[in-house]
Structure 1
């Protein structure tokens, strides 16, 4: 597969992430965040298990089945923190500002991965053209992060930044795990660990609220109930394929721009609002990413 396909899949994943975050938040508001997480993980785990059963004779689906480091089996626990952080940022700052703060966290952590080679990523250096392009992208991120200053809540923006950093970390670990087990089986294991962690946490600390939330499910649209888990499967599997194929900073910028553009659409469709500043910020991020790609293409024969 060529670079253009991976870039397209990365951008599509960013758009799906925005839709998934809003769907998870709406389901959490209708029930509880615990119900949203557990329902999504059950749906995702069921889909992946059926795929593995149906394709057990296919090496592409079954995966190489190599022995992986023990800590990768618990990567799904990141999802417990990410879903809760996304929930609180969206309901307190709105979809666009929540995505902007998440974007900043993704971009900052991905830059660290590329510069340090942390978590097995290929170590890369910066030249003048890349620095200039990253500055342009940084300006876009700052514009997005400060565009909602009339309702600016520093605490919740910081939560969004943390969610973004954890998201990029989980994506890198997902991709590493997939190199041992294959994307489908690695994703299934992530859903298993996320479900077990969520079940333990919510029934230890929020048992009554969670049980009450489950009683609300019959009155909720089946589409809303199913959407979060189904979209999560796409996100986890696609990032397992993509993240190690392109530099993490490019992946973050593509994911970021796609998330912001989609969040603008979601705000218009569901919340009757539009932010020109966020649109400008997203465009600047795309320009910065294009500059990075051009610098790499010129430097690499």
Structure 2
């Protein structure tokens, strides 16, 4: 149960982080905002590591495969992309699109790691895409009906 709660909290914090970072990026620039995000995050994790005082990982750094270090690079790209995306489209759509990307990347990773793809995951991902498209069309129709936007 603890892991479920932590996963949900992680989801809340991810979206909150994206919105906060996008607002920062609007004020200082996309890459500058991303830089500030990682400098502050690095400082915080540095303090946490100092507080924990467990430095045993240092002996294992040479044994870690190079691709394991790509997480930071990927994280920077995620933050920079969300800094561009969040101000442009509603947060709910950004969240759903990111979720869809996560589902399908999970399917790809599962395929390469365990040579199996769950039909349920694929069907679920397609249903989410169809639901989002349906909802987007309803929103657009409502905005046209209320003369908030014009038909294109």
Matched, 1:203 2:50: yes
Where does 1:146-165 land on structure 2 (aligned, <5 Å)? Answer: 154-165=1-12
Cα shift at 1:181: 0.6
Cα shift at 1:180: 0.7
TM-score, normalised by the number of residues in structure 2: 0.88
Give the 4+ runs in structure 1 shifted more than 6 A: none
Determine which of 115, 127, 130 is the counterpart of 1:287. Answer: 130
Where does 1:1-301 land on structure 2 (aligned, <5 Å)? Answer: 154-205=1-52, 207-208=53-54, 211-225=55-69, 227-298=70-141, 299-300=143-144, 301=150
Take 1:288 and 1:219, find their aligned partners in 2: how far apart are those partners? Answer: 45
Structure ID, larger Rg: 2
TM-score, normalised by the number of residues in structure 1: 0.46
Aligned residues: 144
Take 2:59 and 2:42, find their aligned partners in 1: how far apart are those partners? Answer: 19
**Structure number with higher relative contact order (C-alpha < 8 Å, ≥ 6 residues apart):** 1
Runs (5+) with no aligned partner, structure 2: 145-149
In the alignment, which residue of structure 1 is the partner of 2:147? none
Cα 1:157–1:273 change in 2 (3 A) is farther
